[in-house]
Amino acid sequence: MGALDLAGIESAARARVPRDIWDFIEGGSGAERTLAANRKIFERFALRPRVLVDVSTCELGQTLLGTRLDTPIGIAPMAYHRLVDEEGETATAQGAGRAGALFVTSMFASRTLEDIAKAGGPRWLHLYWLRDRAALAALVERAEAAGFGALVLTVDAPRIGRRLRDQRNGFAVPPHIHAVNLDADLMATSHRSEKGSSGIAEHAREQFDTTLTWADLGWLRARTRLPLVLKGILTAEDARLAVEHGVDAVVVSNHGGRQLDGAIPSLAALPEVVEAVPAELPVLFDGGVRSGTEAAIALALGARAVLVGRPVLWGLAVGGADGVHQVLDLIRDELDHTMALLGRPRLADLDRGAVTDWPCPTD
Ligand SMILES: Cc1cc2nc3c(=O)[nH]c(=O)nc-3n(C[C@H](O)[C@H](O)[C@H](O)COP(=O)(O)O)c2cc1C
Ligand SMILES: O=C(O)C(=O)c1ccccc1
């Protein structure tokens, strides 16, 4: 029998993954307020079921920015999947492919874009804006050639958040794992370990372009025919600026509580972003989604798709490609079930009327 919920997969993963790597994956920044709030806020919403609707089949497929998907649950960009599995991103891509789910590959993937493409499945590429624009341009060209369907530029990380667990552990990327899509000399700092600091934070300090503003986005636009998605939008103001600057979609995200601690929980930001953009502009969502019920709440609040982060690495750690497939299918099956009992069998039926803000009386 497969796992009935993610909790069992999480505890099996925890037992397998070395402590400092587990801390890197699970951790947030600062006091981990935002990390906790991302989960807690789902309790504030309740579903409003309708009855006597034909729910004999539920439709979970859609085309998003030209990419065909069998499920609205995709994989958020996460660096270095080889931290938990020898195969890493090629296994993740296989699992995602079997589920027909979107895999947003991190720029810091530990397998090549070309190998990930060979594994099949719908894929987009995530980018941080490096000071070295030539390296960025080269990556964009390779992504196009390897069939990545969109670029997801993460804009909430001019610096890496203060991740105290990583600083205590002196976390650095182990020497045998590499961000193979970037030149080794660009990546050297991320392997340097020292108590009291994080190799990843040091690396970002060296390589990320902290001068980046809205005016620079045109440079990237001019270099690609791929749709451009901005990840890390949390306010209506920035959502409107994104639209003015011609982006094709946004991801409402606080980076899984790993960047600005104290930032608004992702789900709380979703309605204002949805309201600020034209109805046809896709708004994606990530942060704290651990079940089909929670995915349904985010979709009802206006997300077109939901990305899941950490649970995918749990699945990968426990069962490689099969584990990733299992995690994605589990959440998809729960969502299918939720849509049937909610009397809303199509994604388009999941609208604001499907959910109510319900202040829990015990709070
Ligand atoms: C181990 C790890 C690595 C991550 N690496 C990246 C990254 O390279 N780029 C990025 O934009 N976000 C990165 N994220 C953030 C995720 O894309 C996503 O926003 C977050 O994990 C979603 O929250 P969830 O884990 O609660 O589902 C990372 C998250 C984790 C846990
Ligand atoms: O984005 C992140 O959360 C992250 O952990 C990371 C990993 C490698 C390089 C930069 C950031």
Residue nearest to atom 10 of ligand 2 (CA): 200
Stated pTM of the model: 0.98
Q: Which ligand is nearest to the CA of 41?
A: 1
- Residue 358: what pLDDT? 83
- Residue 359: what pLDDT? 74
106 C-alpha to ligand 1 centroid (Å): 9
- Residue 1: what pLDDT? 56
152 lines ligand 2 (CB under 6 A): no
Q: Which ligand is nearest to the CA of 78?
A: 1
161 lines ligand 1 (CB under 6 A): no
C-alpha separations of 123 from 92, 102, 186, 356, 363 in Å: 11, 6, 25, 33, 41
Give SS3 for 4.
coil
289 lines ligand 1 (CB under 6 A): yes
Contact of 88 with 324, CB cutoff 8 Å? no
- Residue 248: what pLDDT? 98
Interatomic CA distance for residues 146 and 142, integer angstroms: 6
Mutate to test the pocket of ligand 1, among 258, 297, 331 (most ligand atoms within 8 A of CB): 258
**CA 159 and chain centroid, separation:** 18
- Residue 223: what pLDDT? 96
CATH number of 6-211+219-342+353-357: 3.20.20.70
339 C-alpha to ligand 1 centroid (Å): 27
Of 96, 90, 97, the closest CA to residue 112 belongs to 90
For ligand 1, what atom is nearest to the CA of residue 152? 11
Longest dimension (CA), the chain: 62
45 lines ligand 2 (CB under 6 A): no
Residue nearest to atom 13 of ligand 1 (CA): 78
75 lines ligand 1 (CB under 6 A): no
What ipTM does this complex have?
Answer: 0.99
For ligand 2, what atom is nearest to the CA of residue 255? 3
> Interhelix angle for 310-341 vs 89-99, to 10°?
10
Count of beta carbons in the 10 Å neighbourhood of residue 362: 5
DSSP state of 334: H
259 lines ligand 1 (CB under 6 A): no
For ligand 1, what atom is nearest to the CA of residue 106? 8
What are the structure tokens assigned to 339, written together? 């849509």
Catalytic residue annotation? 255
Instruction: Show pLDDT as tens, one digit a residue, over the chain (363 residues).
Output: 577 889 999 999 999 999 999 999 999 999 999 999 999 999 999 999 999 999 999 999 999 999 999 999 999 999 999 999 999 999 999 999 999 999 999 999 999 999 999 999 999 999 999 999 999 999 999 999 999 999 999 999 999 999 999 999 999 999 999 999 998 888 889 898 888 889 989 998 989 999 999 999 999 999 999 999 999 999 999 999 999 999 999 999 999 999 999 999 999 999 999 999 999 999 999 999 999 999 999 999 999 999 999 999 999 999 999 999 999 999 999 999 999 999 999 999 999 999 999 876 565
* Residue 198: HSE in the Cβ half-sphere, 13 Å Cα cutoff: 20
